[in-house]
Amino acid sequence: MARARPSDTGRMRPVLVSVAVAATTIVVVATAGPAPAAPTSRPRQDAASAHVLPGTSCPVFPADNYWHARVDRLPVHPMSAQWLSTMHASTTRLHPDFGPSFGAQAVPYGIPITVVDDAPKVAVRFDYADESDRVRYPLGAQTQIEGGPDADGDRHAIVVDSATCTLYETWNTRQTPDGWTAGSGATWSLRSNTLRPRGWTSSDAAGLPILPGLLRWDEVRAGHVDHAVRFTTDVTRRAFVWPARHQAGSTNDPSAPPMGARFRLRADFPMTGYSPQARVVLRAMQHYGLVLADNGSAWYFQGAADDAWPARLIDELKRVPAAAFEAVDTERLRVRPGSAKASVTRTGR
């Protein structure tokens, strides 16, 4: 997707292990040396918290996080019709930005997730260092890059350290003879609702994490998706709404949506003719919706790169008309401006 410059102002040799979890293969890095602690030594997953990320004991942010908040009972946003018009909804269908590549590239379409276990960390040189987290990142030979090692495009890298439940995300990620570089980088604790500083970008133009907005095959296959999905559009306003922290818009026209705008599939959308797996995705879009997180092609929504995505399911999702969506007003979900915690008591009509 197109990006714009932010406008607000004792080393161990890693050993690669492939772990198959719920039909999804995730790269895990185990460090040589002392055996890792038994799983019981990790923090217990609270029964009320969000589903864990496969291969870890980490939630994909707390259960009361914005990404997990249902929006099917929120009011329609007063700018819904205007935003949909600017986004070409009447003539556009959804486009899954993930799935089989059929040889067009060496890896599946989508954004890969790399899980490591206390792997060595390296310094990264950022183009936008003033809005990046200047910490060391667990990047190495095991790191999967969006599109593959020789790809053009956004080259996102999403790495989760399962030992600390820390999420590391970078954009335009490259390994050079002089070390690792990226356009920008951001980190989050997956057990926290803390947002980035206001005005800061992330590896996404909206300043939000990418991981919680990725559709994953393991959850679709299991029959339940409990979060909103990240998507893009081609024209955005120079504004952002909670919990987004940053904008990269090209217009001040209020008919263009701001970063962080949320949309849901209308409750009356007919699901007749869709497979059970497609209905899992469609119900998630009704209950949790889509979050506008970056500039790019209109109505492209993102998923994790995975060889297991069925081509039939991808084709089914391409049939969904963008006109079947409506923008929702999420203001009543906000508890505090600097937190992604969402209220669950004020969502009635």
Model confidence pLDDT, tens digit, residues 30-47: 333 333 333 333 333 333
The CA distance from 249 to 238, in Å, is 4
What is the DSSP secondary structure assignment for residue 342, as one 8-state letter?
B
Give all strands of the β-sheet with 229-233 in edge-to-edge order. Answer: 95-96, 300-301, 229-233, 290-295, 262-265, 325-328
pLDDT the model gives residue 14:
32
Any idea where the domains of the chain sit in the sequence? 14-333
Query: Of residues 344 and 111, which shows the higher confidence score?
Result: 111
pLDDT the model gives residue 292:
98
Residue 68's closest CA among 209, 229, 278, 201? 229
Return the beta strands (E) in the chain as ranges.
14-21, 24-31, 95-96, 113-116, 124-126, 157-161, 166-171, 174-176, 179-182, 184-189, 229-233, 262-265, 290-295, 300-301, 325-328
What is the DSSP secondary structure assignment for residue 318, as one 8-state letter?
T
Confidence band, pLDDT 50/70/90 cuts, at residue 25: very low
The CA distance from 150 to 173, in Å, is 11
Phi, psi at 286, each rounded to 5° = -75, -40
Residue 323, CA distances (Å) to 100, 125, 172, 211, 239 in order: 26, 42, 32, 26, 23
Model confidence pLDDT, tens digit, residues 212-266: 999 999 999 999 999 999 999 999 999 999 999 999 999 999 999 999 999 999 9
* pLDDT cut 90: percent of the chain above it: 84
Tokens encoding 290:
């889509």
Tokens encoding 194:
């803390």
Residue 260's closest CA among 215, 294, 287, 285? 294
Tokens 């069925």 sit on residue: 310
Rg (alpha carbons) of the chain, rounded to whole number: 19
Statement: residue 302 has pLDDT above 70: yes
Residue 235's closest CA among 298, 326, 290, 289? 298
Please compute, for residue 23, the number of CA atoms within 13 A of its CA located in the half-sphere on the CB side: 11
The CA distance from 100 to 107, in Å, is 8
pLDDT the model gives residue 51:
78
The CA distance from 173 to 191, in Å, is 25
Taking the whole predicted model, whether its pTM rises above 0.95 is answered as no
The CA distance from 36 to 302, in Å, is 33
Kindly report the average pLDDT of the chain as a whole number.
87
Average pLDDT of the segment spanning 297-306: 98
